[in-house]
Structure 1
Amino acid sequence: MKPSLQLKLSQHLALTPQLQQSIKLLQLSTLELEQELEKYLLENPLLEREDDAYAPVAAEPPTAPAGDGEKAPEETEPVASSSGEEESWLGEPDGGYANSSGSFDDDDNDFQDVQAATTSLREHLSWQLGLMGLPPRDRTLVQCLIEALDDDGYLTQSLEDLAEALPPELEIDTDELQIALRHLQHFDPTGVGARNAQECLALQLRALPADDTQMLALRIVSGHLDLLAGRDFAKLKKCVECDDERLREAQFLIRSLNPRPGAKYAALDARYITPDVVVRKVRGQWTVNINSDAYPRLRINSLYAQILSRQRGSGLSGQLQEARWLIKNVQQRFDTILRVAQAIVDRQRQFFDHGEVAMRPLVLREIADILGLHESTVSRVTTQKYMATPRGIFELKYFFGSHVATEAGGACSATAIRALIKQLVGAENAKKPLSDSQIADLLGQQGIVVARRTIAKYRESLGIPPVKLRKTL
């Protein structure tokens, strides 16, 4: 063996720093982009945001061209915020549980919820404990129970486990903890300190004025809550010996209770979405514009740029080039988002006109082929990018999905099928709700061939309970 020189010819793809930055910015969400830009602004003195107070009028964000080449007066439809459905703890598809007053629309209750969000459950209970004239030992035990509650106000640990966890020198037994728990269960909100949902509801019922309905509801909660949750009304009526009317009144009373009394004191984790693009109808055509609030306006610092133009070979020349690359890549990012969003809107016009039932099947490759982009690029653009429309705010990925074949040889999107299922369930007879097989048959009559198991999967994704739990008296 001896050393030798060899010449080898090969090809490989090298990602330049500019291309790497472009790819990185493209996959960031609006919030992540702002954080990334702040880092660049701190590190590069030649880069700055345009100051509205002193800078000239900033360049407008990219806008999709109108159909006739002219920007027409906009016929803007208001953007409606999408609202999720409340999930019922008893499986009701049409409502959740109310608070102790049974009302959802009271402005005073809304104000109280806002106030409660600023005070934690433990702070609220500790404040009440301070108003009670308990001996120091009892006060300490109640405070220990308060600290052991979960966010819903339940005591998930047994009294025996809590007694063992306390210092042995205190010589605390379960009887003392039981007395402390009774004190705690008289605090506001009613039902706090319960060890399960059955006890929580029973505590709230016992706090109400006694009458026939309250007594019947207490019997159901204490011994037959599983039958009520399972909608086995025939067996439940035999167990409590009542008619349909009385059972209906007791059920209404139970549903007005709050099985999570401490939830309204939980810390609110609000997440705000800034849409990247806005969809409007202009002269009968759906057009897409970049949201000006999401578009960062960057520029080169003019003072440093003038100094660099007179001084060649300055150490800031590299940072000047980096600043230019960043501005160009940010512009390119929004150009790509705009192109993809407009292509999506062009192919989902029926959705914007008629809603989810008109959603057509769409895959990433279709948009990629139309725009001459790679599928991975379209995937990056549609992830964590949002579109504000007259029908709500949607992630761009929302408009893509699987499809189901129709008898006519076409295809129906999964989103449209979910919307049809929701419509059928909303219009069903509550006393005779539709089974998954019946829903599949009804869709089959419309030419959409869907298996029963697929119906069940879509129904569960919509949060719609099975037929047994949707049945009412």
Structure 2
Amino acid sequence: MKLSLGLKVANSLSLTPQLQQAIRLLQLSNLELEQEVQLQLDSNPLLEAVDTASEENTIVEKQEVDLSDQLQVTDIPEDLPIDTQWDDIYTHQPTALGIADLDEREAQYSKEITLQQHLQNQINLLNFSKLDKLIAICIVDALDEKGFLIAEISEIKEAVLGLLENISFNEEDIDDEEIFVVLKHIQQLDPIGVGSRNLVECLSIQLKSLPESVQYKSEALKVLSYYQFLITNDVQKLLKATGLKLPELKETLNLIKTLKPYPGSDFVEGETEYQIPDVVVLKKNDVWQVGLNPDVAPKLKVNSYYASFIKRADQSEDNQYLKNQLLEAKNFIKSIDERHKTLLKVATCIVKYQRDFLEYGEEAMKPLILRDVAEEVELHESTVSRVTTNKYILTPKGLFELKYFFSSHVSTTTGGECSSTAIRARIKKLISAESPQKPLSDNSIANLLKEEGIDVARRTVAKYRESLHIPSSSERKVLL
């Protein structure tokens, strides 16, 4: 074998640490970005957060100079004014809408009282013995999020006995009847019917709590005793079993409809999480404006005090450390800026495509795929996918994930295309306007859509209907 040396030219892609960091930051949600920024601030002395209060006047002055050179607000005309220059100051400025209307926002987490806490507060006011209070606590702990009791009496007894052993309470056994008595007390607390074992028991408890003067109260209790005919929508059998006439049955069912099927539905379990928008869209002077949310855009700069200690010719270990930290701080701020520019660029393009949605709602949504946006903003599809994942946009129509605006399309009879989101909205509208006694079948909806020029199969309608969590026509049908 003969060995030889030679030169070879080849193309290859090398991901530098800075590029890797930029890609990673791009796919982070605003909460994850906040955590990443805090981590960098804690580890790099050359990086510091901008004091919002002290920088406010400077920011306002810069905003008044020339909006076209900034990222704060982007109108939606023909072009997408997104490009900015990376200057030598390395100070990140807030790229957001400077509008007073955006100052009032909900907190990310809203703590409210839970069903268990609400019941516990009432139990503490009852004249219960220590044993009965312990039974009541075990019953409350066994409720699901709807307020129903999901444990058997034997399981509650076992739980109570286990607690009694831990507190050395002198009680050898507990009668099932005692647990039933406490359960009856729980079911009379607010919300009435909580602790029921099933829907019929829940509705019956609510009916019995109504004043005797309420019309059709006794008839409603009689109807609930034949609930199997209610489930099957069998009006004739229900009339025969109850002995009611059709007008009486109608009034009775109207009374039942006023009851609450799930007593715990008004309460939350633990913390309710609210998404904070990354991008905000507003219409001002008949022009749609897109901007980053100032509440989630980190404001960073290089610490000038520590930077002043760096000496160019000094090769000492301390000086090299400061140089490296300075470089990392600059790169991190640049990566943050690139993330914001890309996010705003993509969001602006999406708003440009879906302007009709902002004006008229879901039925005006246009078909849009990642490739359409990628070609428009000259980015790779994978980059568009990253920047639209877990990113939210606040519009006059509500809060949406950016990916919400991407949807497949269905061909129309006129040769055009219709967004699947628009079709779902149309299906929802048709169902909302249907007769409760004669609900539209999936085949009927498909035929109505075809009359509007939207050619979809019955199984496609069924798939879209199920995605909207709308039951079938047989389940939507009401008795009267």
On whether the aligned pair clears a TM of 0.5, the verdict is yes
Secondary structure, counterpart of 1:14 in structure 2 = coil
* C-alpha deviation, 1:455, in angstroms: 0.9
Q: Structure 1: how far apart are the matches of 2:417 and 2:470?
A: 24
The alignment covers a number of residue pairs equal to 431
Asked whether the 8 Å contact 2:75–2:288 carries over to 1, the reply is no
Q: Which deviates the most, 158-167 or 418-427?
A: 158-167
Q: Which deviates the most, 117-126 or 237-246?
A: 117-126
Structure 1 counterpart of 2:230: 228
Residue of structure 2 aligned with 1:456, choices 449, 454, 462: 462
Secondary structure, counterpart of 2:423 in structure 1 = helix
User: Does structure 1 residue 150 correspond to structure 2 residue 156?
Assistant: no
Q: Structure 1: how far apart are the matches of 2:396 and 2:408?
A: 24
After TM superposition, list the pairs within 5 Å mapping 1:45-84 onto structure 2: 45-55=45-55, 57-58=58-59, 62=71, 63-64=73-74, 67=77
The Cα offsets for residues 57-83 of structure 1, whole Å up to 9 and x where unpaired, read as 246661436648999xx9x9x99xxxx
Asked whether the 8 Å contact 2:148–2:195 carries over to 1, the reply is yes
Q: Structure 1: how far apart are the matches of 2:330 and 2:372?
A: 33
* C-alpha deviation, 1:240, in angstroms: 1.9
Q: Structure 2: how far apart are the matches of 1:265 and 1:279?
A: 32
CA shift in 2, pair 1:354/1:54, >3 Å: closer
Secondary structure, counterpart of 1:307 in structure 2 = coil
Secondary structure, counterpart of 1:345 in structure 2 = helix
Structure 2 counterpart of 1:261: 263
* C-alpha deviation, 1:138, in angstroms: 3.8
Asked whether the 8 Å contact 2:26–2:387 carries over to 1, the reply is yes
Secondary structure, counterpart of 1:189 in structure 2 = coil
Structure 1 counterpart of 2:383: 377
Structure 2 counterpart of 1:390: 396
| 1:57 aligned partner, one-letter code | T
Asked whether the 8 Å contact 1:202–1:222 carries over to 2, the reply is no
| 2:74 aligned partner, one-letter code | A
Asked whether the 8 Å contact 1:47–1:298 carries over to 2, the reply is yes
Q: Structure 1: how far apart are the matches of 2:208 and 2:80?
A: 70
Asked whether the 8 Å contact 2:408–2:419 carries over to 1, the reply is yes
Structure 1 counterpart of 2:441: 435
CA shift in 2, pair 1:135/1:279, >3 Å: closer
Asked whether the 8 Å contact 1:48–1:298 carries over to 2, the reply is yes
Asked whether the 8 Å contact 2:290–2:347 carries over to 1, the reply is yes
Q: Structure 2: how far apart are the matches of 1:70 and 1:377?
A: 18
Residue of structure 1 aligned with 2:327, choices 321, 331, 334: 321
TM-score, length-normalised on structure 2?
A: 0.80
Structure 2 counterpart of 1:29: 29
The Cα offsets for residues 149-198 of structure 1, whole Å up to 9 and x where unpaired, read as 33433221211333355359722242332333233333333212211121
User: Does structure 1 residue 201 correspond to structure 2 residue 203?
Assistant: yes
| 1:466 aligned partner, one-letter code | S
The Cα offsets for residues 226-260 of structure 1, whole Å up to 9 and x where unpaired, read as 43344433432333222333223222222222232
Q: Which runs of 5+ in 1 are unaligned?
A: 80-113
| 1:286 aligned partner, one-letter code | W
Asked whether the 8 Å contact 1:279–1:289 carries over to 2, the reply is yes
Structure 1 counterpart of 2:359: 353
Q: Structure 1: how far apart are the matches of 2:367 and 2:40?
A: 40
CA shift in 2, pair 1:143/1:239, >3 Å: same
Secondary structure, counterpart of 2:273 in structure 1 = coil
CA shift in 2, pair 1:244/1:274, >3 Å: same
Q: Structure 2: how far apart are the matches of 1:182 and 1:349?
A: 56
TM-score, length-normalised on structure 1?
A: 0.81
* C-alpha deviation, 1:34, in angstroms: 1.2
Asked whether the 8 Å contact 1:191–1:204 carries over to 2, the reply is yes
User: Does structure 1 residue 213 correspond to structure 2 residue 216?
Assistant: yes
Q: Which runs of 5+ in 2 are unaligned?
A: 64-69, 82-96, 103-109, 166-170
Secondary structure, counterpart of 2:48 in structure 1 = strand
User: Does structure 1 residue 41 correspond to structure 2 residue 51?
Assistant: no
Once the two structures are aligned, what percentage of the paired residues are identical? 45
Q: Structure 1: how far apart are the matches of 2:207 and 2:217?
A: 7
CA shift in 2, pair 1:52/1:118, >3 Å: closer
Secondary structure, counterpart of 1:430 in structure 2 = coil
Secondary structure, counterpart of 2:201 in structure 1 = helix
CA shift in 2, pair 1:318/1:144, >3 Å: same
Asked whether the 8 Å contact 1:153–1:192 carries over to 2, the reply is yes
CA shift in 2, pair 1:64/1:180, >3 Å: closer
The Cα offsets for residues 285-319 of structure 1, whole Å up to 9 and x where unpaired, read as 53422333332221111112222256734121111
CA shift in 2, pair 1:362/1:144, >3 Å: closer
The Cα offsets for residues 118-148 of structure 1, whole Å up to 9 and x where unpaired, read as 5444444344444444444444433433333
After TM superposition, list the pairs within 5 Å mapping 1:83-162 onto structure 2: 118-162=112-156
| 2:156 aligned partner, one-letter code | L
Q: Structure 2: how far apart are the matches of 1:68 and 1:255?
A: 53
Asked whether the 8 Å contact 1:230–1:468 carries over to 2, the reply is no
Q: Which deviates the most, 409-418 or 204-213?
A: 204-213
Asked whether the 8 Å contact 2:74–2:80 carries over to 1, the reply is no
